[in-house]
Amino acid sequence: MLPSPVRSLKSLSTTVRSPKVLRTEVLAGLVVALALIPEAISFSIIAGVDPRIGLFASFTMAVTISVVGGRPAMISAATGAVALVIAPLNREHGFGYLVAAVILGGLFQIVLGALGIARLMRFVPRSVMVGFVNALAILIFMAQVPEMHDVPWAVYPLIAGGLALMVFFPKLTRVVPAPLVSIAILTAITVGAAIAVPTVGDKGALPSSLPVPGLPDVPFTLDTLTTIAPYALAMALVGLMESLMTAKLVDEITDTRSSKTRESVGQGIANVVTGFFGGMGGCAMIGQTMINVRVSGARTRLSTFLAGAFLMVLCIVFGPVVSDIPMAALVAVMVMVSVGTFDWHSIAPGTLRRMPLGETGVMVITVACVVATHNLAIGVVVGTVTAMVVFARRVARVAQVTSVTDPEGGSVLYAVTGELFFASSNELVTRFDYAGDPDRVVIDLSATHIWDASSVAALDAITAKYAQRGKTVEIIGLNQDSAHLHGTLSGELAAGQ
């Protein structure tokens, strides 16, 4: 089998041979590149670095991940979540330490990816995923609000016009992405009519040359390592969480599967490369990914590669033209992305009536945490833990014990149904009549499963309580896994009896 990067390059060449796919991927990459510019500049400001640092990071992240990443068509670039994590390090120790942390964070991601951290994604329930998507849509919209506050009145009709173009233009043709048409028309109007509105150029200076590789300007000592390691680990975890959640979302949208392990390792490689080129690091960008996949219809790595390549071309070659793009045009694009990303079905009255209250609660908690902290990773962790608690409470109530006494009074049969684990087995001991039962007690576990040591300890405690009264207990019906666990631990958990 070909190595992953080689297969990626072969898939790019296959795309080039398909004119229709090529057109879609090229135009999608161009739209994403235009949307990346103000975002990268804004995230640079959050991190406290020169705007060019964010643009360089977006360029190197997108180009690198297009080859080494696991999810085709997903966009990785400088992000707000990573900027928030590393901003204190830059503020307290300087830019060199920030770059060193990005490189170390990338190495952490490579190691975590190789260890299989991506497999943890299977523990993220659907309700958390829906909350993640809805919170994302809200954050995308909230990020546009400052661009609509305290601005010239002309901004508002421009935004409305941009939204109208993106709604109605696809009814005429889908050959050219509606966001690209909207950006071009609004730019032509503002430049031609000399309308004074905020533009991309107002966000910061665009780079005039490509980034140059080099080592971070820090002392290579143990003190430096201990200083940057906590920030690097936090960046690695936040970046992986957002990237894997985004990959899972794109998998669902495109009805395809991707390698989450390769994506994890790829994110690490991209961050290492970005660090050596003096970038601020990053991860998957959900908003730009939605533009690429859902709005523009891209499906291959070519669009990701071109998004990064076009970003530098637009900045270096067409900097003056790009600087004239009104922010209103990009705000309209992102508002449309926000509306399209939100799962409106999840809050429909009919859905809410049918959905279990616990599931809805998990979704709401996930949304609330993400919106309150502006950190998607925190929301996902809190939502997942909440879902586990809800699940544990629900399953704990499922375990039932019923008894049937032998007509002759010589024995009693207890049938246990449901799952036995720490939450349900704690109450199991109270379900037996130790004083009133006959001398022989049979416990049938054929309709249950023993999951942990707590359940074995509970069964040992039941046996001990009967033994104190001179009665015998026989446990029957254990499946293979339960029998193995019970046989291994029974009698060895005296502290739990």
Give the model's pLDDT for residue 198.
93
Enclosing H/E stretch for 369: helix 357-373
Give the model's pLDDT for residue 399.
74
Enclosing H/E stretch for 283: strand 283-284
DSSP annotation string for 299-343: -SHHHHHHHHHHHHHHHHTSHHHHHTSBHHHHHHHHHHHHHHHS-
Give the model's pLDDT for residue 89.
93
Q: Please report, as a single letter, which amino acid is at residue 377.
A: A
Token pair for residue 316? 């270096």
Encode 110-127: b = buried (16+ Cβ within 10 Å), e = exposed.
bebbeeebbeebeebbeb
Dump pLDDT digits (tens) for 388-425.
888 877 776 667 889 888 777 789 999 998 888 888 88
pLDDT exceeds cutoff 50 at 495:
no
Q: What is the DSSP letter of 217?
A: S
Give the model's pLDDT for residue 7.
64
403 beta partners: 414
pLDDT-based confidence at residue 497 (cuts at 50, 70, 90): very low
Give the model's pLDDT for residue 15.
60
- Residues 476 and 446: beta-carbon distance below 8 Å: yes
Dump pLDDT digits (tens) for 346-394.
999 988 888 888 899 999 999 999 889 877 778 888 999 999 888 877 7
Q: Please report, as a single letter, which amino acid is at residue 36.
A: L
| Residue of 214, 269, 219 lying closest to 97 (CA atoms) | 219
328 beta partners: none
Q: Where is average pLDDT lowest: 178-192, 227-241, 398-412? A: 398-412
Task: Give the distance, in angstroms, between the CA of residue 40 and the centroid of all CA atoms in the same chain.
Answer: 19
Give the model's pLDDT for residue 17.
64
pLDDT exceeds cutoff 60 at 58:
yes
Q: Please report, as a single letter, which amino acid is at residue 267.
A: Q
Mean of pLDDT over the chain:
88
pLDDT exceeds cutoff 50 at 1:
no
Report the percentage of the chain scoring pLDDT > 90: 53
CB half-sphere exposure, 73, CA atoms < 13 A: 28
pLDDT exceeds cutoff 70 at 496:
no
> Between these two residues, 148 and 124, which has the higher pLDDT value?
148
What is the pTM (predicted TM-score) of this model?
A: 0.75
pLDDT-based confidence at residue 482 (cuts at 50, 70, 90): very high
Highest average pLDDT, of 168-182, 198-212, 219-233, comes from 219-233
Q: How far apart, in whole angstroms, are the C-alpha atoms of residue 445 and residue 486?
A: 12
Give the model's pLDDT for residue 85.
84
Encode 133-147: b = buried (16+ Cβ within 10 Å), e = exposed.
bbbbbbbbbebbeeb
Rounded average pLDDT over 223-227:
95
> Between these two residues, 313 and 17, which has the higher pLDDT value?
313
Q: Cβ neighbours of residue 240 under 8 Å, at least 6 residues apart?
A: 109, 112, 113, 117, 264, 267, 283
- Residues 116 and 261: beta-carbon distance below 8 Å: yes
Give the model's pLDDT for residue 6.
64
Rg (CA), the chain: 29
- Residues 327 and 202: beta-carbon distance below 8 Å: yes
pLDDT exceeds cutoff 60 at 2:
no
Token pair for residue 144? 């546009």
Reduce the secondary structure of 468-493 to three states and give it as a string.
CCCCEEEEECCCHHHHHHHHHHCCCC
Q: How far apart, in whole angstroms, are the C-alpha atoms of residue 134 and residue 141?
A: 11
Q: How far apart, in whole angstroms, are the C-alpha atoms of residue 345 and residue 273?
A: 41
- Residues 6 and 69: beta-carbon distance below 8 Å: no
Which 3 state secondary structure label does DSSP give 152?
coil
Q: How far apart, in whole angstroms, are the C-alpha atoms of residue 59 and residue 282?
A: 11
Q: How far apart, in whole angstroms, are the C-alpha atoms of residue 342 and residue 352?
A: 16
Rounded average pLDDT over 14-34:
84
In this structure, the number of other CB atoms found within 10 A of the CB of residue 169 comes to 18
